[in-house]
Structure 1
Amino acid sequence: MSPLPIESVLADLSSALQQRDEVVLEAPPGAGKTTRVPPALLDADWLGKQKIIMLEPRRLAARAAAEYMASMLGEAVGRTVGYRVRLESRISTHTRIEVVTEGILTRMVQDDPSLDGIGLLIFDEFHERSLDADLGLALALQGRALFREQPALKILIMSATLEGDRLAALLNDAPVIKSEGRLYPVAIRYGAAFIAPERLYHELPARMLATIKQALVDEPGSMLVFLPGQAEIRRLHELLRSALADQKNIILAPLYGDLDLQQQRRAIEPVAAGRRKIVLATDIAESSLTIEGVRIIIDSGLHRQAVFDHGVGMSRLHTRRISRASSIQRMGRAGRIEAGVCYRLWSEHQQAQLIPFTPPAIEQADLLPLALQLQRWGVDDPNELTWLDPPAAGHYSTAVQLLCSLGALESLNKGWKLTRHGEAMARLPLHPRLAHMLLMAQPLNVTGLACDIAALLSERDPLSS
């Protein structure tokens, strides 16, 4: 097994966790933090026989990380290393490293605020700042403070692009461990200026196609192409099938969250000698995943983001430019096996104009799920918890009022408490609106129909999963 850059700081990391209960780890893409850190800490004296829980933002990344770590130990998944994601669990009584998706952690903390038997909680790729990650950290910190006795629950925050000093200050001036460098250099090739939003639909596929065809001529190896969403992936996939029909050595592989597991595995597995692969991906491939053989990145510079519209009470998808941090993450997908190259479909001047970090979801997402979980936790005022960025008071108040209209809350003195209906909603692994729909369907004897609707709205294509 070849050494990775992260290995040079593993001893320092273990020592820091021996002395402190909170540590921040900054490591660039490709350093190996996701798969090398948990096994390296498994035999630490301070951990004893307790478990390590590592949070991953996506199901595919959670499965892939667990499978890779298990293979490093020469074991099947579910022995020493396992995973828990929505609707799937591979753990046993022997499991000491659990890779879980973020919503799973929220339920774990709600069920046992002390997280008894867990010695280390790792937040991987924290720079993505999902709503569940921010909530999970806030609940874990308060649960530890109120209910945990010795041995202490230790918390490790990991990311390639992180506001490390700001986060360290939040965590009692936690030490920041930095792993420098990646395995191989990545050359950057800039293109023309960003496409104007009104021309995006017509111009993006043609520009991506031209760049991919040029890269196939200029560079060897497989390719990872970043696109904003599934619609763009499908359009470009059709264009490439036609344009590359005579090149039988090239495999086209879409990669996005709603694909079934077999198709997702096909995208990340290595190809046979003499063949090349073009992976067409959303930002699901931006972090945690290692796609074997990739040394070329084609980056549209765009991503699709759900933003809550408070005027209509619904989330809308917006196509936006990525942040500088995301551009670094994407570039870092190359250079894993040899020197790589990253084609950016924007100018070098525009790179300097990108916002430094992607705004956290807590600033622009629907806060209804967060409000329901905080009410279940017993908190009326979010400011009772520790946040890197607290939810805006007005937006949170709107979410609370909507919970009241759904019958999930009732007034108690100057605050609120969950009704029996609200308790049932909070225990369902669904958005509160969908949970409310399922519960209301029961007395009407239309539960089956409600389940079908909930599956369609939450999974988009449940029949293919």
Structure 2
Amino acid sequence: MTQVLPIDAVLPDIMAALVLKPNAVVVAPPGAGKTTRVAPAILDQPWCNGAVWLLSPRRLAARGAAERIAEEMGEAVGGRVGYATRLDSKQSAATRLLVMTPGLFRNRILADPELHGVSAVLFDEVHERSLDGDFALALAIDAQQGLRDDLRLVAMSATLDGVRFGALLGNAPVVKSEGKIWPLDLRHIGRRAEDRLEASVLAAVRHALADEAEGDMLAFLPGAADIERAATAVEDARLPLAVHRLHGQIDPALQRKALVRDLDGRRKLILATSIAETSLTIDGVRIVIDAGLSRRPRFDKAAGIARLVTERASQASATQRAGRAARQGSGVAYRLWEAAATAGMPPFDPPEIHENDLMPVVLDCASWGIVDPRQLGWLDPPSPAAISEAKTRLQAIGALAGDGRITAHGKALAAIPLPVPLAHMLLDAARAGEAEMAGRLAVLLTEPGLGGRGVDVEARLGRWRGQRNERSEG
């Protein structure tokens, strides 16, 4: 029998809202079940004659959501329920519920603005405010208003941004699920400034093992290198734990293994980036260890590229992380900072639209037929200065004409699912007869960790050719 989840109580309200209006906002705390239950319920509605697309912010979450929904429906992934990401997909002619990333949705709506055969698009975890997520929602709203007044749009959030999203979606009704509240014990154990991060994590793991007799652990660290160092420290200590890494560079098979209980019944320690903050519940987790740090993209105007920087996590992020310990029962969260320091953390993660390179947004808008991206419906519009700078760089590579309209070269760039500079490199290389090598370089530069983490690109290419696993061959 399928487990009853808190979201089930409000599913009738959500379905009724979508009969009265084309749009709705669903606000439900993590673990309430919005990711896995709302989309399947829409499939059964009389007005839903086509496909339902569920947009999930990360590849891991998209694949995991599809697998969980299919499991609850008693089916295999690739039948009625499928998923599609940039390098991996399982779908068929029978697929009606397709989970995808916002970046892939952007490609599909630009190619087919009317979204033929699609009845509803759901935007999960909209509170994360990724650039791809915000842009995908803006394009969908524009398509609905100009081409598809029968298209249903649903924004789903774990935080109380519902009113703002409701206004953006034409005063759409906001349906709230209270969720199941389990006791959560917050313990601020601090961290000495002179200690390496992996040493502090190891100390917190020992602390948790001494205090908590049962339950798996989920530790949040800023990046893949931090995770590897912490994993090595814990494994060298020979603690009674099965250690798992969980980040975007891990092979999909190992990612799946981290999400389920240990087959041999051992307690688990999952070392993860912010990839594990929201979306699917990780079964068995009762203990969270939070380093209080995040890796975020910041556009370097001087270099013309985005860099990942390590910063303090936001208060909202810390709350999300701690809540992972209390999704299935009472839990405890160990925080590697003093309680008083929480007030000094930024309240929320800044919207990526204020931090990222806008070249792809400006180019895609030009492909959409809009010279000024601010004409679209944004929760937070991009700044005129950032738009102007992006236009200047796009004109320099021949992607935009002087009046801001897209050129033939720009249309070719927009059709390639890569960052604009890499797409430009790919087309230039193709003209020089080096398309295959350029394609390999583009994949290597957009898939961190593929072929290793060194700065020697030639060495990484060589190691990649020799790798035989699901990720390297995807």
TM bin, normalised by shorter chain, reads: over 0.9
SS in 1 for 2:32: coil
Tell me whether 1:137 sits opposite 2:140 in the alignment: no
C-alpha separation between the residues in 2 aligned to 1:110 and 1:317?
Answer: 28
Aligned to 1:239: 233
C-alpha separation between the residues in 1 aligned to 2:80 and 2:440?
Answer: 36
Deviates more, 1:81-90 or 1:50-59: 81-90
Q: Say if 2:102 and 2:136, in contact at 8 Å, map to a contact too.
A: yes
Counterpart residue type for residue 170 of structure 2 = N
Tell me whether 1:227 sits opposite 2:221 in the alignment: yes
Matches within 5 A, 1:373-412: 373-411=364-402
Q: Say if 1:182 and 1:335, in contact at 8 Å, map to a contact too.
A: no
SS in 2 for 1:280: strand
Tell me whether 1:205 sits opposite 2:191 in the alignment: no
C-alpha separation between the residues in 1 aligned to 2:198 and 2:265?
Answer: 27
Q: Deviations over 1:152-211 (max 9, x none)?
A: 111111111242212212222221111113352221112227x76xx6xx5322211111
Deviates more, 1:9-18 or 1:266-275: 266-275
1:307 is matched with which residue: 298, 301, 306? 298
Q: Deviations over 1:122-153 (max 9, x none)?
A: 0001111111111111111111111125xx11
Aligned to 1:9: 10
* Offset at residue 87 of structure 1 (A): 2.6
CA RMSD across the alignment: 1.6
Counterpart residue type for residue 123 of structure 1 = F
Deviates more, 1:448-457 or 1:118-127: 448-457
Q: Say if 2:391 and 2:404, in contact at 8 Å, map to a contact too.
A: no
C-alpha separation between the residues in 1 aligned to 2:358 and 2:16?
Answer: 38
Counterpart residue type for residue 407 of structure 2 = T
Deviates more, 1:128-137 or 1:168-177: 168-177
Counterpart residue type for residue 357 of structure 2 = D
Tell me whether 1:421 sits opposite 2:409 in the alignment: yes
C-alpha separation between the residues in 2 aligned to 1:89 and 1:223?
Answer: 30
Aligned to 1:278: 269
Aligned to 2:148: 148
Q: Deviations over 1:88-143 (max 9, x none)?
A: 22222222111011111111211221212222110001111111111111111111
1:447 is matched with which residue: 430, 435, 441? 435
Aligned to 2:168: 170
C-alpha separation between the residues in 2 aligned to 1:365 and 1:176?
Answer: 30
Q: Deviations over 1:260-311 (max 9, x none)?
A: 1111112112113541110000011111132221111001111000101223
Q: Say if 1:183 and 1:337, in contact at 8 Å, map to a contact too.
A: no
The 1:226–1:81 alpha-carbon spacing in structure 2 relative to 1, beyond 3 Å, is same
The 1:449–1:94 alpha-carbon spacing in structure 2 relative to 1, beyond 3 Å, is closer
Aligned to 1:368: 359
Aligned to 2:453: none
Aligned to 1:180: 178
Unaligned runs of 5+ in 1: none
* Offset at residue 380 of structure 1 (A): 0.8
Q: Say if 1:250 and 1:278, in contact at 8 Å, map to a contact too.
A: yes
Number of residue pairs the alignment of both structures matches: 451
1:432 is matched with which residue: 420, 424, 428? 420
Q: Deviations over 1:45-67 (max 9, x none)?
A: 232x2221110011111111111
C-alpha separation between the residues in 2 aligned to 1:274 and 1:72?
Answer: 23
SS in 1 for 2:405: strand
The 1:114–1:4 alpha-carbon spacing in structure 2 relative to 1, beyond 3 Å, is same
Matches within 5 A, 1:96-135: 96-135=96-135
Counterpart residue type for residue 254 of structure 1 = R
Q: Say if 1:286 and 1:329, in contact at 8 Å, map to a contact too.
A: yes
Alignment identity in percent? 46
Q: Deviations over 1:54-87 (max 9, x none)?
A: 1001111111111111111111112111111113
Matches within 5 A, 1:19-58: 19-47=20-48, 49-58=49-58
Counterpart residue type for residue 4 of structure 1 = L
C-alpha separation between the residues in 2 aligned to 1:154 and 1:170?
Answer: 14
The 1:234–1:432 alpha-carbon spacing in structure 2 relative to 1, beyond 3 Å, is same
Q: Say if 1:227 and 1:283, in contact at 8 Å, map to a contact too.
A: yes
Deviates more, 1:94-103 or 1:306-315: 306-315
C-alpha separation between the residues in 2 aligned to 1:106 and 1:74?
Answer: 30
SS in 2 for 1:374: helix
Matches within 5 A, 1:341-352: 341-352=332-343
Q: Say if 2:141 and 2:169, in contact at 8 Å, map to a contact too.
A: no
C-alpha separation between the residues in 2 aligned to 1:74 and 1:318?
Answer: 42
Q: Which runs of 4+ in 1 moved over 6 A?
A: none
Aligned to 1:73: 73
C-alpha separation between the residues in 1 aligned to 2:341 and 2:169?
Answer: 34
* Offset at residue 438 of structure 1 (A): 0.7
Aligned to 1:159: 157
Q: Say if 1:28 and 1:181, in contact at 8 Å, map to a contact too.
A: yes
Q: Say if 1:30 and 1:183, in contact at 8 Å, map to a contact too.
A: no
The 1:356–1:175 alpha-carbon spacing in structure 2 relative to 1, beyond 3 Å, is farther
Deviates more, 1:79-88 or 1:219-228: 79-88
Q: Say if 1:408 and 1:421, in contact at 8 Å, map to a contact too.
A: yes
Tell me whether 1:215 sits opposite 2:203 in the alignment: no
Counterpart residue type for residue 386 of structure 2 = H
1:318 is matched with which residue: 309, 332, 352? 309
* Offset at residue 407 of structure 1 (A): 1.5
C-alpha separation between the residues in 1 aligned to 2:37 and 2:325?
Answer: 19
* Offset at residue 441 of structure 1 (A): 0.6
* Offset at residue 251 of structure 1 (A): 0.5
C-alpha separation between the residues in 1 aligned to 2:162 and 2:181?
Answer: 22
SS in 2 for 1:315: strand
Q: Say if 1:81 and 1:96, in contact at 8 Å, map to a contact too.
A: yes
